[in-house]
Amino acid sequence: MAHQLKIALAILRLEQVEVRTGLKKSSIYKKSSEGAFPTPVKLGTRAVGWIESEIDEWIATQIEKSRTVPAAATVIVGERMRAVAETAATSEILSHKILPQPLNLSKTQSPPTSARAESPPGSNIASSKKGRRRDV
């Protein structure tokens, strides 16, 4: 007598599939019709569900695809990283000579008066008690 392996099957409804995959209804049905996502199982006249193990397998495949880098891309990324490192070193050197020190505004200091917005003379805008501008 052959032993049969029993697999516990569970059906996920649309809301559960959305939560697990991060996809919305329209994307799920579109990918399903294109063959890029598991197809739903008909549960009744107006009810469908997805087999949990198929959804889990699809998620694992997506993770594997996103983590796998082709060999040609590794070479391009390596060259690009070298260029980025050289650019970063150059900009770091230049930033110390060209850029001023950052302005430190603590709670005790107020911003310079030139930074405050002033109403042009003769305008119909006045400041309220809280410093907001309002029409008069």
22-72 tens-digit pLDDT: 999 999 999 999 999 999 999 999 999 999 999 999 999 999 999 987 666
Report which of 66, 65, 69 is spatially closest to residue 81, judged by C-alpha positions. 69
Task: Provide the residue ranges of all domains of the chain, joining segments of one domain with +.
Answer: 11-67
d(CA 114, CA 132): 17
**Does the model's pTM come out above 0.95?**
no
Half-sphere exposure of 128 (CA within 13 A, CB side): 6
Q: Which residue has the tokens 């390596």?
A: 78
d(CA 67, CA 65): 6
Do residues 40 and 49 touch, judged by C-beta distance below 8 A? Answer: yes
Which CATH number, 1.10.8, 1.10.10, 1.10.1060, 1.10.238, labels domain 11-67?
Answer: 1.10.238
Through-space distance between the first and last CA atoms of the chain, rounded to whole angstroms: 94
